[in-house]
Amino acid sequence: MDASYLSLWCVLINRSAALRCSPHQALHAAKKRTKRLRHGRVDRCGERTRLLDILAQLFDGNAVKVVPIHAELTTQEAADILNVSRPHLVKLLEDGQLAFHRTGKHRRVRFADLIAFKERRDEASQLAMEALAQQAQELGMGYE
């Protein structure tokens, strides 16, 4: 972890003590601020924003796993990330919906490919939900 991240963490702890609030509340307040930092510097690439998101998840009691973008996952690890069964993931792989390669007789999925698939799947799910909501409103099913 680089020194700027450690200093950001210290600022959050000190800010929470000064405001007499929990580090969790100070974290959420910091996330709401603009991307402008002291001395007029801009937060490039949103790195600090991503760090704040990770810290927020930790403060909420959620587990956080840091995975390199070029990492290769087993089918079980990939299935766990997608929250599906391993046999269902294997079917997705064999149907060509998700890229993979073989290492010997084992399948491996690149983390970047998995996240791209997850984003496409989530977007399709959101569009389907919006279409269903629109249809329910048009039919007057009481969701107005």
Mean pLDDT for 83-110 is 94
Domain coordinates of the chain in residue numbers?
Answer: 3-59, 72-138
CATH placement of domain 72-138 = 1.10.1660
Using one digit for the tens of pLDDT, what is the confidence trace for 109-144? 999 899 999 999 999 999 999 999 888 888 887 765
Average pLDDT, the chain: 76
Q: What is the dihedral of CA 62, 67, 72, 75, to 10 degrees?
A: 0
Q: What is the CA radius of gyration of the chain?
A: 21
Q: Which residue has the tokens 């299935």?
A: 79
Q: Structure pTM?
A: 0.57
Binned at pLDDT 50, 70 and 90, residue 15 comes out as low
CA dist 126 and 129 (Å) reads 5
Residue ranges of the alpha helices (H) in 20-144?
23-32, 47-59, 75-82, 86-94, 111-138
Q: Facing residues of 106 across strands? A: 103
